[in-house]
Chain A
Amino acid sequence: MWGAVVIIGLGTYLTRLSFIGAFGERKMPAWMELPLRYVAPAVLGAIVLPAVLMPDGVVEFAPTVNPRFLAAVIAGAVAYKWRNVSLVIAVGMASLWVLDWLF
């Protein structure tokens, strides 16, 4: 696992260094620009949805079986309104605990 972390660290440094470290052409080619705009939403969607919809490996909407989905919907509404990380974590965790306790 340590080896993997070092490789990720190196790779990350190189992407950060890329254009700053380059000597000649410093402009990003147009073909790179467009897809890069959608990396953040696509990656984050791909992380969040499976984590809240199928925490045990099976898709489950019902809060009686998987309270995480409903808790995430509640937290998402809070995030949309306030964008405060601490608040979202607090509301999301509290929702999870309450739903766990209810069902």
Chain B
Amino acid sequence: MQEQDTRRAGITDGARSVAPLLLAVVPFGLVLGVTAAASTVGGGLGIATSFIIFAGAAQLVTVQLMDSGTSLAVVVLTALVVNVRHLMYSAALAPHFSEFPRRSRLLLPYVLTDQAFAVSMLRYETTTDPLYKRWFYTGAAFTLWGSWQVATVAGVVLGAQIPASLGLGFAIPLVFLVLLIPVVQTRPGLVAGIVGGVVAVAASAAPFGLGLVTGALMGVGAGVMMERAGHR
């Protein structure tokens, strides 16, 4: 196949593979925009987080914590803990990306998300062509990126017109609930989630709003101990 054909096929296949996922990504982005606009964070900074951070869960946590007046150092710490999972994705993709040009290896991690990772790893099982791999990931990741930016802006525009009495901030934990359910299907995962939640509640009075991070670390510890004890 010609280089250009491979490129076109890769981009198209990548974009196509994430299309069904947009059903979940777009409402998530809308919630982010709406809640940012309705909070003390504001729509402008809300849109900026999509561009600068581009990681939905971390962005929502950032908006939520900033709005509740948490110290900025703890906001940064919490968001980075939420994003530490990207290490795992980076390690898994690294052998595939090692043949890409240096420029791609620097740019493509910026658009690395749960979804782009999942569809790419799946496709990489059935292909060996580095050129196709590169453009498939590019097509998938940038489709998600563009949709995310548009959804955030749309959410901010909408959010400015929605009265606070509707309690739309509740949509944030609802989105997280959807993400939580699939990762607590194993016993260690379930224990990690429960311990994380219970400790975060118990430690909610911890200084500087460190309750979330405390809960998260204890939850990870509990999950590790469960797995070490032989649970699956």
Residues of A in contact with B (beta carbons under 8 Å apart): 1-9, 11-13, 15-22, 26-28, 32-54, 57, 59, 68, 71-72, 75-76, 79-80, 83-86, 88-89, 92-93, 96-97, 100
Interface contact B84-A5, CB-CB below 8 Å: no
Contact of A18 among B90, B170, B189, B211 (CB under 8 A): B90
Does residue B16 face the partner (Cβ distance < 8 Å to A)?
no
The residues of A that contact B23 with a CB separation of less than 8 Å are 84-86
* Those 4 A-B pairs whose CB atoms lie nearest each other, nearest first: A42-B219, A38-B223, A49-B197, A46-B215
A-B contact count (CB 8 A): 270
Chain B positions 54-91 with a Cβ under 8 Å from a chain A Cβ:
54-55, 57-58, 61-62, 64, 66, 72, 75-76, 79-91
Interface contact B110-A13, CB-CB below 8 Å: yes
Residue of A nearest to B179 (CB): A44
Residues of B in contact with A (beta carbons under 8 Å apart): 23-24, 27-28, 31, 41, 45, 48-49, 52-55, 57-58, 61-62, 64, 66, 72, 75-76, 79-91, 93-95, 97-98, 105-106, 108-110, 112, 166-168, 170-184, 188-190, 192-201, 204, 211-224, 227-228
The residues of B that contact A84 with a CB separation of less than 8 Å are 23-24, 178
The residues of B that contact A4 with a CB separation of less than 8 Å are 62, 66, 72, 75-76
The residues of B that contact A44 with a CB separation of less than 8 Å are 57, 176, 179-180, 183, 193, 196
Interface centre among B85, B110, B171, B180 (most CB of A within 10 A): B180
The residues of A that contact B179 with a CB separation of less than 8 Å are 40, 44
Residue of B nearest to A57 (CB): B204
Q: In the docked arrangement, what's the CA distance between A16 and B23, Å?
A: 24
21 chain-A/chain-B pairs, Cβ below 8 angstroms = A5-B62, A8-B62, A8-B76, A12-B55, A12-B80, A12-B86, A17-B106, A21-B106, A36-B85, A39-B84, A40-B183, A43-B212, A47-B173, A50-B201, A54-B204, A68-B170, A76-B181, A83-B182, A88-B177, A96-B170, A97-B166
Interface contact B204-A50, CB-CB below 8 Å: yes
Interface contact B216-A42, CB-CB below 8 Å: yes
Interface centre among A17, A68, A84 (most CB of B within 10 A): A17
The residues of A that contact B93 with a CB separation of less than 8 Å are 19-20
Interface contact A8-B58, CB-CB below 8 Å: yes
Interface contact B170-A85, CB-CB below 8 Å: no
Interface contact A43-B94, CB-CB below 8 Å: no
Contact of A42 among B48, B182, B192 (CB under 8 A): B192
Interface contact A38-B58, CB-CB below 8 Å: no
The residues of A that contact B88 with a CB separation of less than 8 Å are 28, 33, 36-37
B34 CB to nearest chain A CB (Å): 11
- Besides A4-B62, A43-B196, 8 other CB < 8 A contacts? A1-B72, A19-B90, A20-B94, A26-B91, A36-B84, A48-B173, A93-B168, A96-B170
Q: In the docked arrangement, what's the CA distance between A4 and B52, Å?
A: 11
Interface contact A2-B83, CB-CB below 8 Å: no
Interface contact A89-B216, CB-CB below 8 Å: no
Q: In the docked arrangement, what's the CA distance between A51 and B106, Å?
A: 37
The residues of B that contact A41 with a CB separation of less than 8 Å are 180, 183-184, 189-190, 192-193, 196, 219, 223
